[in-house]
Structure 1
């Protein structure tokens, strides 16, 4: 494949959204460092290259400020204000700013704190499954996978659970900008998102003020504590951290659960294996994240020229790190297109790598493990309805619009069964 071949350039076509792995496989084999004219970016698809890129000082996560500078005087006011608000997000900053923000937030994500949430997550999962079964629902995303993360995040931040609908709405509005979802024009999306972000930031400012006066056992209170140096997150930084946690946690976990369910149901032998041995859940989730994880692409901004596989990548270019392609690289994984719930070791990079590895990855794993295990236990006859699955046309995320399922469960079977205890193990 020549570098200017356009047949596989556009990752947002319906075909590429429905089955991105065939596109990624062709790029990975024939042109692993590929310039995409539609995306105006380099596409990296091999595991070694993507893994090394996470460590490269030539690539920057600080991609909002250059974008604002490039659009100075040309961007719509709503678009520029959204980007200005997002510059505080930890994930779009480099060291030393990123180092400080992550250090101050890390205490809220300690292993012990995440593990302690297991029982609460199990209760939430079973409550949502009760509602799903008794209500006769069919869409497992709209009535389960989409609801759970927002509920957990509300609890984590010490916000009323009743506010979870607002959390979901704000996350959706931000997704309009981050992932380009929806049928509106860019200007329409940004106007909608700006209104949502302003509401969200105002809400979190009030929540931060309340938690300063009434600290609790929640993560927001933990993030306010500061460190041994006397350093602490400012109000703006706390608000940005809450917004990032809401958006990243909601989108990623919803997709992890939904994609995991689809993959299991499309591989009945592996699904049967998990039903027969619930102890496989930990390795199963890692394999599901590798096989069809929630994030397809992460972006980086090039800050210094470098050479890669005979290509010169210049400062000012953009690079798309295609995690979904790297996680199926045959040079790293034996039979990468085969689902193996017992695969070990499994060095996938579904949550990134290095200093920018997802800070909430363990929480996402916890929720996904518990959700899938309870689904397997309580809905053992869960199956796809046969309706065509509609994958969202998104560059960054691997996400379904809905997930229609059948399950044969009756209201009398809605009572929770014995806990596997997986929710309390990390």
Structure 2
């Protein structure tokens, strides 16, 4: 690689207007010219090639998931300490042996068998949220369906009372800004909002946990309170932090997935026709959407030692940003990668991660997505965009439209 090739990537802010307009075009440029490159404004390595992203995921002893020390150093204000204390207890921020320990204690609740049992409840929520569209033929899909469905589902599973779910959604959104962006780009205002949210959220959950200790119910929160293996249990703070993580992981990322799937249906009549004719392809359409527009665009890792990656020397302590949005469009892995196609067969995308930190809620996200597409196609004979002015939402990492108005033709 010549120095002139590197100069733009070295000194150009990555998250500029070009990126906001079309990150996938930026990824294509970087992947071709500089697949692993230092970015001075971000003070981080940018990794865009699928093989390199997978290597970082699958080498956790070299690329640590604990980014919190970086956050504490960047934002040393004492008032932010409780925020980073909570973030540091999340499974997705821990390395082994603590990561395996925490994951093992919560894994049974998100096993495949348990997830399948939620299918009927999910379908009931889908039918309720599309009821008005069956009369009017119109729905603002993002705000009236894709936002409420995941929070209703995960809240039901965890055991959040119905009256509190709107507030829990607001807390989750503020916290997800922090958890996914603090090591890349975040403002003081967003950090402060996250601190306010997490302080209130923690107090709220603490009361629920105490209730479940005395009066267990058939919900995930009660199972987490009782979780024990080989004499090991979650501490009180670990329980609170990872309940918040599960509520977040089962919430906004699934909103992005559902929105992108509905957009694809609305803009691709041929895809609608294929899926109506062969519903067994719906699961493949979900995987293709995850590859084509992953809910999470990038994740960060910290080098624990000096190492080589694609010919570049990564120094100990360097921040490494791996771009899932870029890996999913890698032409070395996928033919015609910028096209949406349900004919790819089994897709080995990285949108749920890889290695020990693969997403714990992936089966629930897949189930919600498959059931949503299935019920939409069963209920409506046609799905179209009502307006092409969709905009882009505010979360840089969880990239989504700002709105998705659809016209639905009831059967």
Shorter-chain TM-score tier? over 0.9
Distance 2:105 2:300 in 1: 24
State the alpha-carbon separation in 2 of the partners of residues 336 and 208 from structure 1.
46
Distance 1:137 1:81 in 2: 44
- 1:80 is displaced (CA, Å) by 3.1
1:177-216 alignment runs, 5 A limit: 177-178=178-179, 186-216=187-217
Q: Figure out how many residues of one structure are paired with residues of the other and give that number.
A: 404
Cα deviation code 1:6-32 (max 9, x no counterpart): 499444334322321111111111110
Superposed displacement of residue 119, structure 1: 0.7
**Which residue number in structure 2 is paired with residue 418 of structure 1?**
none
Using a 3 Å threshold, how does the CA distance of structure 1 residues 394 and 155 change in structure 2: closer, same or farther?
closer
Q: Is 2:18 the partner of 1:51?
A: no
Give the distance between the partners of 1:136 and 1:346, measured in 2 at CA.
Answer: 34
Shift of 1:399: 1.6
Partner Cα distance (2:88, 2:76) in 1: 16
Question: For each residue in 1:316-358, what CA deviation from the matched residue of structure 2 results, as whole angstroms up to 9, or x when unmatched?
Answer: 2111111111112121122222222132121111110110000
Which residues in structure 2 correspond to 1:12-411 (within 5 Å)? 12-56=15-59, 57-68=61-72, 70-71=73-74, 75-134=76-135, 138-178=139-179, 186-392=187-393, 394-409=395-410
For 2:172 and 2:160, the matched residues in 1 are separated by 15
- Unaligned segments of structure 1, at least 5 residues: 414-426
Per-residue CA deviation, residues 344-399 of structure 1 (Å, 9 max, x unaligned), is 12111111011000001111111111112212222332111233221235442222
Offset at 1:192? Answer: 2.4
Counterparts in 2 of 1:18 and 1:266: CA distance versus 1, 3 Å: farther
Between the aligned partners of 1:313 and 1:48, the Cα distance in structure 2 is: 16
Q: Is the 8 A contact 1:270 1:339 kept in 2?
A: no
- Cα distance in 1, alignment partners of residues 87 and 132 from structure 2: 36
Give the TM-score, by structure 2 length: 0.92
| Equivalent-residue separation in structure 1 for 2:319 and 2:63 (angstroms) | 9
- CA positional deviation for 1:78: 3.9
Q: Is the 8 A contact 1:285 1:368 kept in 2?
A: yes
Q: Is the 8 A contact 1:170 1:197 kept in 2?
A: yes
2:308 match: secondary structure: strand
Distance 1:137 1:75, change over 3 A: farther
Matching residue within 5, 10, 16 for 2:8: 5
Structure 1's 9 and 248: CA in aligned 2 closer, same or farther, altered over 3 A? farther
In structure 1, distance between residues paired with 2:269 and 2:48: 29
Contact 1:8 1:23 in 2 (8 A): no
Alpha carbons of 1:152 and 1:50: their partners in 2 closer, same or farther (altered >3 Å)?
Answer: same
Q: Distance in 2 between matches of 1:191 and 1:232?
A: 31
Using the TM superposition, give the Cα deviation of residue 66 of structure 1 relative to its aligned residue in structure 2, in angstroms: 3.5
| Cα distance between partner residues in 2 of 1:15 and 1:388 | 18
1:139 Cα shift? 1.8
Comparing 124-133 with 254-263, greater Cα deviation is found at 124-133
Bigger shift: residues 102-111 or 214-223: 214-223
Q: Which moved more, 1:141-150 or 1:123-132?
A: 123-132
**Per the alignment, do residues 381 and 240 of structure 1 end up closer, same or farther by CA in structure 2, a change over 3 Å counting?**
same
Distance 1:40 1:156, change over 3 A: same
Distance 1:118 1:18 in 2: 37
How far apart, CA to CA, are the structure 2 residues paired with 1:131 and 1:77? Answer: 49
Select between 381-390 and 163-172 the one with higher mean Cα deviation.
Answer: 381-390
Greater CA deviation, 53-62 or 14-23? 14-23
Matched residues in 2 for 1:136 and 1:8: separation?
49
Distance 1:405 1:105 in 2: 38
C-alpha contact 1:179 1:394 (8 A) present in aligned 2: no
- Partner Cα separation in structure 2 for residue 202 and residue 132 of structure 1: 38
Aligned-residue offset at 1:228: 3.9
Give, in whole Å, the separation in 1 of the partners of 2:159 and 2:395: 31
